Structure 1
């Protein structure tokens, strides 16, 4: 690791962790669910090329019962029958929000995603996408030790 960003900016990391705790609660108790969050975190990390986060989230997903088949096919989710319509909506939303520069979010995607999520659910899904994008940028910038993560 180039730098321990946790100790370099403890107040900043604590703010990130507080947002992460909120998002995690939506996975445990809320509308999103842990399985959906695991797919979203993994897909966004694939897009961003964050090896540390891909390793982390696939390990957590497997521990939570996610199948190898669905994890292996995640980068080609549009071409497979392995994901529910709700998961597909979340993945499309996550991809669009991750690749937002120059693309924006069009009304059709918003409406299609809203068919599967309440206002709070969509806001929390978007916060989850924001959070994993931020963690990806920290892990990539400071060369987090890939392979070192162990699920709890």
Structure 2
């Protein structure tokens, strides 16, 4: 895929709106490691190479282990995530793929076992923010810079 356009340059108001949404989602008090896991998992589902590259690098810079980054796509089978992280990752998958029936009640209950009502909404906002970024990046052909 080639870059179609520079969305930030051609529509700076839309880009500023996205930045404001991101800032809101990031400011809600979600643990930064969990916030990055959510971003990485949604980006993998959505096939956003730019975001997968960026969030993986950010996570490494912030001290996340390579193992936790590499295994996020198989989090169910991996012992390196807490039950609370697993619940948030499961919610990320359901909100990202949003089946016709919505988020199943058992998923909601698993998430709520670890997060209050307000935190549940905060998680959904974080998931929605990265899904919006993924869709913007994929639609405009934003690709990671290749390193030699």
| TM superposition score normalised by structure 2 | 0.92
Question: Does the residue aligned with 2:27 lie in a helix, a strand or coil?
Answer: helix
Which residue does 2:92 correspond to in 1? 94
Shift of 1:132: 0.5
Structure 2: which 5+ runs fail to align? none
Q: 1: CA distance between counterparts of 2:113 and 2:17?
A: 31
Q: 1: CA distance between counterparts of 2:88 and 2:128?
A: 13
Which residue does 1:70 correspond to in 2? 68
Cα deviations across residues 29-66 of structure 1 (Å, max 9, x unaligned)? x1x11100100100000001100000000011111111
From 4, 7, 12, give the equivalent of 1:5. Answer: 7
Paired residues for 1:1-152 under 5 Å = 1-26=3-28, 30=29, 32-147=30-145
Q: 2: CA distance between counterparts of 1:95 and 1:40?
A: 9
Q: 2: CA distance between counterparts of 1:136 and 1:117?
A: 25
RMSD over aligned Cα, in angstroms? 1.5
Question: Does the residue aligned with 2:122 lie in a helix, a strand or coil?
Answer: helix
Q: 2: CA distance between counterparts of 1:117 and 1:40?
A: 15
Q: How many residues are treated as equivalent by the alignment?
A: 145
Q: 2: CA distance between counterparts of 1:78 and 1:98?
A: 17
Cα deviations across residues 94-119 of structure 1 (Å, max 9, x unaligned)? 00000103241111111110111122
Structure 1: which 5+ runs fail to align? none
- Which consecutive segments of 4 or more residues in structure 1 shift more than 4 A? none
Q: 2: CA distance between counterparts of 1:33 and 1:101?
A: 27
Q: 1: CA distance between counterparts of 2:96 and 2:61?
A: 26
